[in-house]
Structure 1
Amino acid sequence: MPLDKETVLAQANAACKNTLMETLEIKVIDYGDDFLVASMPVNSRVHQPDGVLHGGATAALAESVGSFASHIFIDTETFFVRGIEISANHLKSIREGYVYAKATFVHKGRTTQLLDIKVTDEAGTLISVCKLSTIALPKKK
């Protein structure tokens, strides 16, 4: 039986303890049949020296939300997920507030997955467009 949304979100966020996601304060906040959304505060912890959101922090947010999406939609008893390629086009700067990354599947294969990740600000303005390829690898028995 599938888990309810609150349980899935709680489990995803609990998995972030003592990781980069916790350091960057990334929170998984929503998901559906073919998408997952996470948020990240924009503050001095994720700024580049001139006070705007660092592209590397944006890429970390995108890879986190995309990898979580792939993870949620595979058999985790048999497989684990790894990111194999990420690209990011940064379109607009942001100094404060929150950014939201929404990962949607372009391709949901048995072995490889391709996700489109849109990063927006609180007003819905597009900040970055990212693509992430993931691979599902069999766990060793």
Structure 2
Amino acid sequence: MTLLAPEFQARHDHSLPGDLGIVVQHLAAGEVRAELAVAPHLMAPNGFLHAGSVVTLADTACGYGCMASLPEGAQSFTTIELKSNHLGTAREGVVEVVATLYHGGRTTQVWDAVVSHRDSGKTLALFRCTQMILYPRG
């Protein structure tokens, strides 16, 4: 069962989130849960999970949440700022993210995400991003 609309799933599968192996577990207005299995192509040269892999997981969850939470008349969004605090890392297992809408305005949304290691429960990163809401011209 897919949580994404078929046309969106196809874009997911053939873009960075799909290439990395991100799987959306829950998608609703205001909350997204996703996961990523730690794999060799996600690692930094030092043998630990690459920070960019963690940021991509969190940013993807927030972005999908933004799309599911667009105000009436909005067409899309673009991320205008993101910040991450990395508190730990992983070498194996599955990392999970829970993204929640903090502010849902007409022109911006702010999302918070917590990335954790499934087996240990350890928080790996805290993430916040701001999206600018885009409307059709005219």
State if a TM-score over 0.5 links the two structures.
yes
Q: 1:58 to 1:76 in 2, by over 3 A?
A: farther
Residue 33 of structure 1: CA displacement?
Answer: 4.6
Separation in 2, partners of 1:76, 1:66: 19
Q: How many corresponding residue pairs?
A: 135
Structure 2 residue runs of 5 or longer lacking an equivalent are none
Per the alignment, in what secondary structure is the counterpart of residue 15 of structure 1?
A: helix
The answer on 1:105 being equivalent to 2:101 is yes
Partner of 1:131: 128
Partner of 2:33: 37
Per the alignment, in what secondary structure is the counterpart of residue 92 of structure 1?
A: coil
1:14-33 residue pairs with structure 2 within 5 A? 14-33=10-29
Q: 1:70 to 1:117 in 2, by over 3 A?
A: same
Q: Which shows bigger deviation, 90-99 or 14-23? A: 14-23
Residue 73 of structure 1: CA displacement?
Answer: 1.0
AA aligned opposite 1:130:
F
Question: Identity, % of aligned pairs?
Answer: 27
Q: 1:74 to 1:33 in 2, by over 3 A?
A: closer
Partner of 1:48: 44
Q: Please report the TM-score for the alignment, with normalisation by the length of structure 1.
A: 0.86
Q: Which shows bigger deviation, 102-111 or 23-32? A: 23-32
The answer on 1:122 being equivalent to 2:118 is yes
What RMSD in Å do the two structures reach over aligned CA positions?
1.9
Separation in 1, partners of 2:109, 2:86: 22
State which of 4, 10, 18 in structure 2 corresponds to 1:10. 4
Q: Which shows bigger deviation, 21-30 or 11-20? A: 11-20
Structure 1 residue runs of 5 or longer lacking an equivalent are 1-5
